[in-house]
Amino acid sequence: MTPTLPRRPLIVDTTLREGEQFAAAHFSPEQKLRLARALDAFGVEYLEHTSPVASPGSERDLRALVGLGLSARVVTHVRCHEDDVRRALDCGADGVNLLFGTSAVLREASHGRSVEGLLADALAAIRLAQNAGVEVRFSCEDAFRTETADLLRVYTAVDACGVDRVGVADTVGVATPREVERLVGTVRAAVRCDIEFHGHNDGGCAVANAAAAFEAGATHLNVTVLGIGERNGIAPLSGLIARLYLSNPALVGAYDLAALPALDALVAEMVGVNIPFNACITGETAFTHKAGLHTNAVLREPRAYEALDPGVFGRERHLLSGSRLTGRHAVA
């Protein structure tokens, strides 16, 4: 008998969509393909790309991405417009990630439309994509500032229409893990399809929120490499991997974990930022021990002050010595 594997989340990397919305990101066509190959080799299950309607360059790059024939499924963001869906299908995308903004503030400040009107557009776009046989995801932007009744009306309608997945987006980064658990749990109880979570980091909880969404029943989690995205971004791939690994290494057993440092370095170089010193796993000092009490114990038993084994992630342990906090009689 084969042992039962734990339920594990599928990773939707959106560096080529959300990441492109990071202020400093200006990916060239070659950079996009290089990054896509690296993410595919790492093992993410999905790559999300900017809508082909956004610009001629976006369409060209999406076609090239599809042409790579990667193992990862290539999905593209699109508005709930039939023309946009047709363009996505024509580009050969494996799936369309539809969305609209359901909160009152987005309805008033962004598109000026009612939930009913948008839902009608969404259902038409969904059917078009379904008829072409591609995967269909429909997401409510700004879900955490939307009336729960509106959310459930929309999610149950698209679920009844047979979408593969609904998305719950914390667009402005306001949710706490507890709120994510509550809302994803509510959606879980209301729909039969899969559930995707996308969370921004304005409140510093993007990683915790993604992990909480998984615990509450989400099947697909959005990340970008380094967490780049609008404003201060979303959940970083390395952070999510660290959190899931700590809970159960089997949750991330499908990925080439030792490739994370090179992946983060690649994107840092492409967009011209440093890997944050406090990045999980890939931060420069993530496996450096300084206080003497720590270094002395780690020499005997690394697990004393290490929950993650650096070797698993292609990193090395460093023990500093000679600071005023170290030495034989270390007390700090």
Ligand X SMILES: O=C(O)CCC(=O)C(=O)O
The window from 118-126, 166-174, 187-195, 272-280 that contacts ligand X (CB under 6 A) reads: 166-174
Render the burial of 23-46: b for 16+ CB within 10 Å, e for the rest: eebebeeebbbebbebbbbbbbbb
Binding mask 12-51 for Cu ion (x = CB under 5 A): ------x---------------------------------
Query: Under the criterion CB under 6 A, does residue 236 sit at the interface with ligand X?
Result: no
CB of 52 vs a copy of itself, minimal distance in Å: 10
Residue 252: both structure tokens together = 């991330």
Q: Report the residue from 296, 309, 312, 314 that binds a copy of itself according to the rule CB under 8 A.
A: 296
Closest listed residue to residue 184, CA positions, set 228, 230, 140, 250: 140
Q: Report the residue from 108, 147, 256, 269 that binds a copy of itself according to the rule CB under 8 A.
A: 108
Closest listed residue to residue 193, CA positions, set 136, 269, 231, 145: 136
Binding mask 85-124 for ligand X (x = CB under 6 A): ------------x-x-------------------------
Q: Report the residue from 9, 15, 16, 18 that binds ligand X according to the rule CB under 6 A.
A: 18
Query: Under the criterion CB under 6 A, does residue 19 sit at the interface with ligand X?
Result: no
The window from 39-47, 158-166, 222-230, 255-263 that contacts a copy of itself (CB under 8 A) reads: 222-230
Query: Under the criterion CB under 8 A, does residue 212 sit at the interface with a copy of itself?
Result: yes
Query: Is there a catalytic annotation at residue 294?
Result: yes
Q: Report the residue from 58, 171, 201, 238 that binds ligand X according to the rule CB under 6 A.
A: 171
Which residue's entry shows tokens 């499908």?
A: 254
Helix, strand, coil percentages, rounded to 5, for the chain? 45, 15, 40
Using the minimum distance from each CB to ligand X, give the nearer residue, 171 or 238: 171
CB of 256 vs ligand X, minimal distance in Å: 26
Q: Which is catalytic among the residues 77, 198, 289, 294? A: 294
Residue 145: both structure tokens together = 């500032």
316: helix, strand or coil? coil
According to DSSP, residue 236 is labeled: B
CB of 200 vs Cu ion, minimal distance in Å: 6
Using the minimum distance from each CB to a copy of itself, give the nearer residue, 76 or 219: 76
Helices (H), 43-192: 56-67, 82-91, 104-106, 115-131, 148-160, 177-190
Tally Cβ neighbours within 10 Å of residue 219: 18
Question: Among ligand X, a copy of itself, Cu ion, none, what binds residue 239 when CB lies within 5 to 8 Å by partner kind?
Answer: a copy of itself
Closest listed residue to residue 285, CA positions, set 242, 321, 319: 319
Rg of the chain in Å (alpha carbons): 21
Tally Cβ neighbours within 10 Å of residue 60: 13
The window from 5-13, 164-172, 266-274, 307-315 that contacts ligand X (CB under 6 A) reads: 164-172
CB of 156 vs a copy of itself, minimal distance in Å: 26
Q: Report the residue from 32, 107, 165, 198 that binds ligand X according to the rule CB under 6 A.
A: 198
d(CA 325, CA 145): 47
Q: Strand pairing partners for 46?
A: 12, 73
Interface with Cu ion (CB under 5 A), residue total: 1
Query: Under the criterion CB under 8 A, does residue 186 sit at the interface with a copy of itself?
Result: no
CB distance 73 to 46 below 8 Å? yes
The window from 149-157, 163-171, 259-267, 278-286 that contacts ligand X (CB under 6 A) reads: 163-171
Catalytic residues: 294
Residues that bind Cu ion in the complex, under the rule CB under 5 A: 18
